[in-house]
Amino acid sequence: MELSYEGRKVIVTGGTGALGTAVVTRLLASGATCYATDWAPSNPRFPYSDDPRVTLFNNVDMADEATATRVYAEASKDGPLWASIHVAGGFAMAPLLETSLETFTGQFRMNAVTAWLGCREAVRAMGNEGGRIVNVAAKPALHPVAGMTAYSASKAAVANLTQSLALELAGQGILVNAIVPSIIDTPANRKAMPGADHDAWPTTDDLAQTIAFLASPQNTVTHGALVPCYGRS
């Protein structure tokens, strides 16, 4: 199926990271106008900093309410937002007794709070036009892994948020879904796990393709889905 985002605006939080860049690439190829957020002051590896179809928000914390409100308001000031894709997040793991409360709440802030604020502000920015929201959960949210209590719980919150909002927003024409990836094939993950079977992991391009469909106008019926994206892992 050929996807078309012509004349549509999409926000990708965490849009300059490995997965975020792949998502922006796929959206641009389908005609979208993109808004990408980055927590860092700059990211020289992001290839679309000077692309006229991309507006980049640098040095922003998408877990900060005022910041999230400002970003979505700026993105929708000249017309409603079509889709919001929430890639921003973080990862930490440790046994329970080595996990601090700061780490636990930090994982919720990076993963669950960023997704919740993104969803709320996206609905505001979409107005009465309908739209699409795609969150990023994680396999440990559905299949818990020892030593990942903080991360798994925060991503489980993202999964529940997705399904709850899908029910709440379907009547407004806003379809809410989430992908549920296993370990993603990125340079950082390859470096961290050099002995793993990297070919079994889903690639960022694979995930971007799935996200792009869920966020597209061509998705007319799927909502409340937690889509497994495990590759062969």
pLDDT at residue 53 in the model: 98
Separation between Cα atoms, residue 199 and residue 185, nearest integer Å? 8
pLDDT at 113 over 90: yes
pLDDT at residue 126 in the model: 97
Separation between Cα atoms, residue 178 and residue 17, nearest integer Å? 18
Q: Is the Cβ–Cβ distance between 175 and 122 less than 8 Å? A: no
| pLDDT, tens digit, 9 for 90 and up, residues 134-166 | 999 999 999 999 999 999 999 999 999 999 999
Residues contacting residue 217 through CB under 8 Å, at least 6 positions apart:
4, 5, 8, 82
pLDDT at residue 42 in the model: 85
Separation between Cα atoms, residue 142 and residue 138, nearest integer Å? 7
pLDDT at residue 129 in the model: 86
Query: Does the model's pTM come out above 0.95?
Result: yes
> In which region does residue 173 sit, left (phi positive, over 0), alpha (psi from -120 to 50) or beta (all else)?
left
Structural domains in the chain, CATH included, are 9-229 (3.40.50.720)
pLDDT at 1 over 80: no
Report the mean per-residue pLDDT for the chain: 96
pLDDT above 90 covers what percent of the chain? Answer: 91
